[in-house]
Amino acid sequence: MSRYYKPSAIDAAGNMVANSQDVAYWGRALLSGQVLSADSTEEQVANPIPLTTDIAYGLGVYVFGSGDDLELGHLGSVNGNTSWMGHRPSDDATLVVMANGWIEDSPYGSEYILEVSDALWETVLGVD
């Protein structure tokens, strides 16, 4: 398999340039009700579809936990990098993790990035 690809072929997934601060700013605004109406923000998580015992998917947002442990976010991976943006409404805190790695042969994919995020939340907020 060739490691060469045309970034424009993946449209919005690869045609934007942002650093972790940009993503955190956007994620906090989107998931704390500053971008969408209150009704739309609530609808994002009203009826999430369970993906695993720990993860569900709402309207454009992954949902972890509930109540004070609720984390909302989104991840993305494309050859060359993977990232996670998570927002914890109860703490009004947003965390972004970005890493380099090739999807097909790297341990640094979605599972890894979520493990790093969990470790950082524990370090920063004392939560897991």
Percent of the chain past pLDDT 70, that is, above it, reads 77
Residue 1 lies in a domain: no
- Answer yes or no: is 108 within a domain: yes
Q: Does 44 map to a domain?
A: yes
Task: Strands of 2-125 (E only): list them.
Answer: 49-50, 55-57, 62-64, 71-78, 80-88, 93-101
Return the pLDDT at 61. 93
CA 119, CA 116: separation in Å to the nearest integer? Answer: 5
- Residue given tokens 């994002």 in the structure block: 44
pLDDT for the residue 108: 53
How many structural domains is the chain composed of? 1
User: In angstroms, rounded to a whole number, what is the distance separating the alpha carbons of residues 34 and 65?
Assistant: 22
The pTM is what?
Answer: 0.79
pLDDT of residue 106: 55
> What is the reported pLDDT for 3?
59
Three-class SS state of 13: helix
In a domain, 2, yes or no: no
- Does residue 39 form part of some domain? yes
The answer as to whether 11 is a domain residue is no
36: in domain: yes
Residue 68 pLDDT > 80: yes
Q: What are 15-66's pLDDT values in tens digits?
A: 567 889 999 999 999 998 899 998 998 899 899 999 888 889 999 999 988 8
**Residue 72 domain boundaries:** 17-125
Residue 3 lies in a domain: no
Question: Helix, strand or coil for residue 66?
Answer: coil
End-to-end CA distance of the chain: 38
- Cα of 108 vs its chain's centroid, Å: 15
